[in-house]
Structure 1
């Protein structure tokens, strides 16, 4: 039976309500307002509210925000604190050693410490006041193409009210075809639509493989009177070393927030080789380090979130312009990896895309050639300068031993070129090393107290993640036999460890010993780690019903 679908047409459709998409929407309305042009702009986001899926460290370099809205403070921009100084530590298992020189990339004085979910909510309100049609709770499920199969004409939102087997329930609502002259993809890291678009239009040809880190962040409420940062000249700390050591890239951060709270997080690069590694356990072990534990002592976790971050840099960026479409922000691999920042470059990319889209609309040419003004603007902007300096950074970090520091040092003094330019790297899904035959993987022996140190399921609860239980799973394992016959013998099913939400649960047949993966999709943070790290490419992340997933408010 053919489902009848409503279609709505716009001039510009933006898919994703993070900082890149929202900056794009605001810039479009600013430009239209200057010329008195009528412009129909729509923005959809899969979260129930704008900002409910936005999570980041987050230190915000202010240059893009200053360009977009010089009066942002008068407009109520929600800033937690302003960075007054930086500290950088190397952790051994028991000690913290201050690094005497903070790398220039990480000089953050004057930057804002923010809750990205609050900033996105604020930007969404401004965009709506300017006339943008904001549609939270609508998940982009499918890219729509013209008859030529190569021109993007919009997206289809997901159906609602489906049963577990895909049957129509009594409350079934078909998805809507949102059509646009220009569709701007701003889905964030590992966007599911951009993933399919990349395959359909070969956007990643001649690019290095995109690589990622999984970050877990919490907001901790400190007890009254505990003011670690008040007596220090710094209010942001970055830490490396324990528990990952120097073999695997990653590290932690602690930032001062308002109302006697801290933002704390830990990132683990997904190029790691040990299939027994659990990024969430790395986070908890980091929090229990004596130096970190003393800072957060007596506190209580009030919100937790998880997300992957695009860290591959300039050489991993896909083709940015297609017929009828543009890619911005994290889903275009736009991130300043050495500086550990992506919000400002994401915002700037959205602003440049807005300018190029309006230019193409004015000329009546929305082909890839007509939209190429976006690529040209980006190449001439400070985005290029920042990303070019870090173009080999992820590759150098992934090196082992002394080679890591040789390459990083060479890059530091040569503006990113280093010894080899470009340096090759492996995709994250290809780096795991098989376990020895018969080896077992022990569960972490971490102790949780339910307040300051919480287990994975409590973290899911604190993220306010919600999914309707009786819908089709949005996590697809097309061939369960791969889990049983290949992944378990070689790696002991690493999905049961790399997922921060306990979505994947290992069940062993008591007679045959064969492995079976039980899915708990209602726990999903939408971090996309599984889609990236699975060594057999046997997990596909798709959007669940719109409006589901995390409900972030302060991370």
Structure 2
């Protein structure tokens, strides 16, 4: 159909894909660098040419900036202070300053308080934030600087020239029916052409995935690994958990073979952010991260905090956790990768906002130099990698480069490795520079160990959703304010559904029904005595877990029609 459609081409100088903290910080920093440079040229302080009006655009698949942004989150403000030293005076929407901290090891019934806070989890003086609110505020700052922001315009295709140089992106068509045919309100996507395209789509970005595969950006890298964070906001009836208090947990309900841990962050107005992280390289195909979160809330120490409270919001998002050995090449002819799309997250500290902002700023500095040189080749844009290598960003990530990989061998060896690498600057077991990662779909084992499968099944069989403390997936999806136009092609592409009812059912027990935190995938009666896969795509919260964890890698997540999905505004 594309061959017959006449598409508008819009020429920009720089296009950022995804309005997250990395892209918005990069766009804002670039605009300021250009303005400062041209002012210096006008004053005669620089002898290079003025750059003049440089067109910078940010496209975002969510209906508003921040609508698809979700994080815990406790923010290290160091990068924001570099971007905007007076961020407090400028009204950055920060919720509370961390004043109290605790670290708990949970058994099934008890909570053991650590006398010391592990150094990576020390957050005193940092800021508890709604990342959705923060990026909305950054979006406003970008617009004030003359940057074009286009919410509701997902990037669906990378544009290349004959030499495989990236020359821009195509945005998604609107008004396509479920049958794939244009409706009366059909509106073709636009080809946004750019000298440099910056991919900041977050974890497992759909365009970044295409780019990495086509250009072999991951050659020589370890496989990227992920975790899944599931979050609820609760309104408490009193001040039992004050603003500024932070709790992190380890242990229950995760088994010793599964990476996992919880958090509670006290916010203003008796609101708490509550969540649980499960490593998406677990072994047991019957494991259900959403059920793990419900068990976490039933722990006596957590249930006491929530008693009498009200759950008001829900969300789920994957977290990139592979470290620098899993980072793809972050530059090439006409493009750069920033933020979680590049793998810039400190998995040990559970922090990626400050690293995302810093990566966006360094990308802006590399683009600024490329604009001055009028050269957008890989040779010129390699400067981005040099800037990253010379910054605190890479020094921080190098010290934790084998953190997540250590948990392949279980909780206790993982913790021992974390302690040793803290002492040796990142070496695994204190001696190895590179431990290696295993992608989640390969780590998942087949249903050959019936004892483990039956134990997990009986464990969840006791779980009841009471609508007060625990909630089923559909109730939680409602609280994510998910909205997709039903009359559109499903954005979850299963390349061979026959695998689901036959091979996958036998070998893995259809794990998509478990690992999806939004009840998107469901095996139903096919009317002929068998089973078939039903995809409830309108439930999708855009976490990308299915794209990551499908054991046959036949699920391909692509953006739905612009603006569709969850609404995490203010969350």
TM-score, normalised with respect to structure 2: 0.94
In structure 2, the residue matched to 1:21 is 23
Checking the alignment, whether the CA contact within 8 Å between 2:400 and 2:422 is kept in structure 1 is: no
Within 1, Cα distance between the matches of 2:175 and 2:526? Answer: 34
CA deviation digits over 1:253-290, x for unaligned, max 9?
00011111000110100110111100000011101110
Q: Alpha-carbon deviation of 1:35?
A: 1.9
Write the distance in 2 (CA, Å) between the matches of 1:501 and 1:128.
Answer: 34
The residue matched to 1:369 in structure 2 has which SS?
A: helix
Which residue is equivalent to 1:358?
368
Q: CA deviation at 1:453?
A: 2.6
String of CA shifts for 1:47-83, please: whole Å, max 9, x gaps.
0000000000101100000000111111111111001
Q: Is the 8 A contact 1:488 1:515 kept in 2?
A: no
> C-alpha separation between the residues in 2 aligned to 1:311 and 1:270?
10
SS of residue in 2 equivalent to 1:552: coil
> How far off its partner does 1:226 sit?
3.0
Q: How does 1:446-485 map to 2 (within 5 A)?
A: 446-485=463-502
Could you tell me how far 1:511 is from its partner in structure 2?
A: 5.9
In the alignment, the residues of structure 2 paired with residue 327 and residue 228 of structure 1 have an alpha-carbon distance, to the nearest angstrom, of 39
Q: Residues 295, 469 of structure 1: CA spacing in aligned structure 2 closer, same or farther, 3 A cutoff? A: same
After superposition, what is the alpha-carbon deviation per residue over 1:2-32, rounded to whole angstroms, capped at 9, x for unaligned?
Answer: 1000111111100000111110111011111
**Distance between the aligned counterparts of 1:350 and 1:240, measured in 2?**
32
Match of 2:222, SS state, is: coil
Matched, 1:147 2:159: no
What CA distance in whole angstroms lies between the structure 2 residues aligned with 1:522 and 1:451?
25
Residue number among 183, 188, 191 corresponding to 1:169 in the alignment:
183
Aligned equivalents of 1:405, 1:305: Cα separation in 2: 28
Which position in structure 2 is the counterpart of 1:538? 554
- Aligned with 1:370: secondary structure? helix
**How big is each residue's C-alpha offset from its partner over 1:307-331, in whole Å with a ceiling of 9 and x where there is no partner?**
0000110100000001000000001
**Structure 1 residue 489 displacement after superposition:** 0.4
Report if aligned partners of 1:27, 1:68 keep a CA contact under 8 Å in 2.
Answer: yes
Structure 2, unaligned runs of 5 or more? 39-51
User: What's the C-alpha RMSD, in Å, of the aligned pairs?
Assistant: 1.5
Number of the residue aligned with 1:206: 220
How big is each residue's C-alpha offset from its partner over 1:180-211, in whole Å with a ceiling of 9 and x where there is no partner? 10000000000000000001100000000000
- Counterpart of 2:409 in 1: which secondary structure? coil
Structure 2 CA distance for aligned equivalents of residues 359 and 140 of structure 1: 26
Q: Distance in 1 between matches of 2:544 and 2:133?
A: 22
Once the two structures are superposed, residues 432-456 of structure 1 have per-residue CA deviations (whole angstroms, 9 ceiling, x without a partner) of 1111398775664432233443221
- Whole-angstrom CA distance in 1 between matches of 2:415 and 2:270: 37
The aligned counterpart of 2:41 is none
* Structure 2 residue 342 is matched with structure 1 residue 332: yes
Task: Give the conservation status (yes or no) of the 8 Å contact 1:397–1:408.
Answer: no
Contact kept in structure 2, 1:89 and 1:240, CA below 8 Å: yes
1:66 to 81, 85, 90: 81
CA distance in 1: counterparts of 2:62 and 2:91, whole angstroms: 23
Moved segments of 4+, more than 3 Å: 436-445, 508-512
Distance 1:401 1:283, change over 3 A: closer
Cα gap change, 1:322/1:468 in structure 2, threshold over 3 Å: closer, same or farther? same
Query: How far apart in 2 are the matches of 1:437 and 1:424?
Result: 25
Counterpart of 1:423 in structure 2 is: 435
Q: 1:260 to 1:209 in 2, by over 3 A?
A: same
Q: Deviations over 1:402-458 (max 9, x none)?
A: 433432332121111123220022111101111139877566443223344322111
Q: CA contact under 8 A between 1:80 and 1:114: conserved in structure 2?
A: yes
Point out where structure 1 has 5 or more consecutive residues left out of the alignment.
none
Match of 2:564 in 1: 548
Residue in 2 that maps onto 1:53: 68
Q: Hey, what does 1:409 align to over in structure 2?
A: 419
**Paired residues of 2:223 and 2:438 also in contact (CA < 8 A):** yes
Aligned-residue offset at 1:510: 7.0
Q: CA deviation at 1:372?
A: 1.1
* TM-score after normalising by structure 1: 0.96
CA distance in 2, matches of 1:338, 1:403: 15
**One of 294, 300, 321 as aligned partner of 1:311:** 321
Q: Distance in 2 between matches of 1:203 and 1:411?
A: 27
**Distance in 2 of aligned mates of 1:335 and 1:378:** 13
The separation in 1 between residues aligned to 2:416 and 2:568, in whole angstroms, is: 40
